[in-house]
């Protein structure tokens, strides 16, 4: 039997949404608003929210008047998101490694470290190839990732989080080219164990992979206020790219 990929199990679990339900959504929406002000998308631009989860940020983009498509591997998340769909907002279950619609999008967004989940780097390149496939010739791709150096220097080992009747034990560690978070808890008489694995990509890795996919990095930012990227101090690595000239 082939073992399910960690993100397919964890992101489709109700416990994932319980653990992260108190995230600061207002900070995330302020970042998206700031990004839109900087990019200045023309009215009616067609946007793809890649790895959209339950669609909160797709809905936020659509509320600005853009045409938005949200994609996510989690069927349960997409089923939830579809209740908010309308003529400018559509959701589909889709694996980001696979091509979607060719030359269809003015902007493709991959927010909040929704990249680097796969076992092999070749699969990350597949994802970027699919992004390039879906961008219009003059389109823009934005990938929001953590700053690997920042994460390495500030990694916390253990955290205990009580949410309702559930007590989550969280452990973070470095394992070669990955940062791994384990999530353990009990619900009733059943014990659960999940794992998050994200590859520790440096800017040089992204430069190499983007180039291989025919994408050209235009600029980088280091936080959600879009300050310049500093490899030692920035908490984020936000990449803005377009298709390379042939």
Query: Which two tokens mark 65?
Result: 């008047």
Helix axes 203-212, 121-134, angle to 10 degrees: 60
Least confident window among 16-30, 39-53, 108-122, 149-163: 16-30
**Res 80: pLDDT:** 94
**Res 236: pLDDT:** 97
Q: What is the pLDDT of residues 214-229, one digit of tens each?
A: 999 999 999 999 999 9
Q: How confident is the model at residue 23 (pLDDT cuts 50, 70, 90)?
A: low
Residues forming beta bridges with residue 184, ordered by sequence position? 169, 193
Yes or no: say if 1 and 192 are a contact pair by the CB < 8 Å rule: no
pLDDT of 66 over the 90 cut: yes
Give the separation between CA 24 and CA 159, rounded to whole angstroms.
Answer: 18
Query: Which two tokens mark 232?
Result: 């030692």
**Res 155: pLDDT:** 83
**Res 143: pLDDT:** 98
**Position with higher pLDDT, 207 vs 177:** 207
How long is the chain? Answer: 246
**Res 95: pLDDT:** 96
């Amino acid at each position: 039997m082939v073992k399910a990929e960690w993100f397919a199990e964890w992101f489709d679990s109700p416990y994932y949404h319980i653990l992260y339900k108190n995230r600061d959504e207002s900070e995330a929406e302020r970042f998206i608003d700031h990004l839109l002000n900087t990019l200045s998308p023309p009215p009616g631009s067609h946007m793809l929210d890649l790895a959209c989860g339950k669609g909160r940020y797709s809905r936020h983009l659509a509320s600005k008047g853009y045409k938005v498509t949200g994609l996510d591997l989690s069927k349960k998340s997409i089923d939830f998101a579809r209740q908010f769909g309308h003529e400018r907002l559509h959701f589909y279950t889709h694996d980001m490694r696979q091509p979607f619609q060719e030359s269809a999008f003015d902007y493709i967004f991959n927010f909040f470290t929704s990249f680097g989940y796969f076992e092999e780097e070749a699969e990350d390149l597949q994802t970027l190839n699919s992004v390039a496939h879906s961008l219009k010739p003059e389109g823009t791709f934005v990938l929001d990732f953590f700053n690997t150096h920042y994460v390495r220097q500030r990694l916390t080992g253990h955290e205990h989080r009580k949410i309702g009747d559930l007590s989550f034990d969280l452990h973070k560690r470095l394992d070669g080219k990955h940062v791994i978070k384990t999530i353990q808890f009990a619900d009733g008489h059943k014990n659960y164990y999940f794992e998050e694995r994200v590859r520790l990509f440096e800017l040089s890795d992204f430069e190499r992979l983007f180039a291989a996919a025919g994408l050209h990095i235009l600029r980088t930012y280091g936080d959600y206020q879009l300050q310049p990227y500093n490899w030692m101090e920035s908490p984020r690595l936000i990449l803005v790219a377009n298709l390379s000239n042939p």
